[in-house]
Amino acid sequence: MNRIITLNRSSVRIAAGLVRWHISRYLLRRDFPLLATFQLTNKCNFDCRMCNIKNNPRQDTLPLEDFKRIIDDLAEMGTVFVSLSGGEPLLIKNILDYVIYAKSKIPFVNLVTNGYLLSEDTAVGIAKSGLDSLSVSIDALGVKHDAIRGAVGAFDRAIGAIKLVKKHSPATGITVNTVISPWNLDDILALAELVASMGVLQKLQPVYVHPEFNGQAANYQAPKAQEIDISKVKAVIAGLLKKKSVSNSAYFLNCIPDFFAGEFKKDIFEQDCIYPSFCAEFTQDGLMYPCIVGKDWTGGYDVREGLKKVFSSRQYRDEVSRLTKCRLCRKNFSVCYVETRLTLPLTNFVRYNFNFWKQGLI
């Protein structure tokens, strides 16, 4: 019963936040970050083929006290959703203290992990923390996943992590994050079957190329999207569209073959981008970005003087205004960016989620 009341209270706060953001932007002409993402650390225990984040030479972790200060500011401004990622956030020994603090101020908190370090104690701690949603990354079945992730036992431990959280923290929603690449295309539908049979959700996205950082490890293999068989991608997408456990919008899924083919006919890619008007992204050094990709991973803003002051500053507003002309989602077709842009403002939600005839669904 308590859980239902908590869920309802969070849902009401999220709905109120959504209404407040629309009023603030379209009537009062003032933006605030409705959503925020944290790359808490760049450290990682894996060596995934497609990921270069763990090779970022800036290997520090955002201290809890700095995180709390940012969360206080976000809560004051009206943020309703926070996602904690990395690097691998479970490498941070007191990660649950971050979750507990975020949950004390923000209605919805998500954590993204490769699952390897998620023990029984962590699962019990997750239940106590009130974490709303956990994303566990799984790209393929068994040893194929291990090979992509550069870690023996990665698949078994990710599946084990899901089972532990289901057992000890049933109120935490679980989503399997899957990156579609030339290396796992043949496994995607079987993996989708497995995910559905476990009673959890799945969110997919195509692989894109991370930037090359100074001093990066020589073995980072930038994925060659052109290696992919587009007709196979189309068949996989058709299978995914039938799965209730897949949480992507049909619009997003239907864009994936175009992305791999290098064709961008779809209209979200031509629309002015307002992502930085409803989101703030934080890196492990405490810097804030209106969009890390749009800013080419450089030039974050120091927010120690107060987030609100920076967010409403002339310099930041000019930056946000410049980014309306950014079209980098075509290259970095990220589920976090594109799906949120398909949802906000709510006119986009209606336009892109109910246009079934345009999406080729009827």
Ligand X SMILES: C[S@@+](CC[C@H](N)C(=O)[O-])C[C@H]1O[C@@H](n2cnc3c(N)ncnc32)[C@H](O)[C@@H]1O
- Measured from the CB atom, the residue of 24 and 205 that comes closer to ligand SF4 is 205
Q: Does 275 bind ligand SF4 (CB under 6 A)?
A: yes
Total interface residues for ligand SF4 by CB under 6 A: 24
Q: Does 264 bind ligand SF4 (CB under 6 A)?
A: no
Q: How far is CA 140 from CA 58, 78, 152, 183, 204, in A?
A: 30, 38, 13, 9, 12
* Sequence-ordered list of residues with C-beta below 8 angstroms from that of 95, at least 6 positions apart, any chain: 40, 84, 89, 111
Q: Does 207 bind ligand X (CB under 6 A)?
A: yes
Residue of 136, 121, 131 lying closest to 175 (CA atoms): 136
Q: What is the DSSP letter of 182?
A: T
Number of Cβ within 10 Å of residue 287's Cβ equals: 19
In 3-state terms, the chain is what percent helix, strand and coil (to 5)? 45, 15, 40
State the binding string over 113-132 for ligand X (x if CB under 6 A, else -): xx------------------
Q: Does 293 bind ligand SF4 (CB under 6 A)?
A: yes
Q: Which of 31, 73, 88, 146 binds ligand X (CB under 6 A)?
A: 88
Q: Which of 177, 184, 249, 284 binds ligand X (CB under 6 A)?
A: 177
Fill in the amino acid letter for 328: L
Q: Does 51 bind ligand X (CB under 6 A)?
A: yes
Residue 205 near which of ligand X, ligand SF4, none (CB within 5-8 Å, type-dependent) = ligand X
Q: Is 54 helix (H, G, I), strand (E, B) or coil?
A: helix
Only one of the segments 29-37, 242-250, 324-332, 346-354 lies at the binding site for ligand SF4 (rule: CB under 6 A); that segment is 324-332
Least distance from ligand SF4 to the Cβ atom of residue 269, Å: 8
Q: Where are the alpha helices (DSSP H) in the chain?
A: 2-26, 64-77, 95-105, 120-129, 142-149, 154-168, 188-197, 230-241, 250-261, 275-278, 307-311, 314-323, 335-341, 346-353
Q: Which of 25, 43, 103, 210 binds ligand X (CB under 6 A)?
A: 210
**In the complex, which residue's CB is closest to ligand SF4?**
294
Only one of the segments 95-103, 201-209, 315-323, 353-361 lies at the binding site for ligand X (rule: CB under 6 A); that segment is 201-209
Residue 113 near which of ligand X, ligand SF4, none (CB within 5-8 Å, type-dependent) = ligand X
Q: Is the dihedral of CA 87, 202, 232, 332 positive or negative?
A: negative
> Residues interacting with ligand SF4, by CB under 6 A?
44, 46, 48, 51, 53-54, 86-88, 114, 149, 273, 275-276, 291, 293-294, 323, 326-329, 332, 337
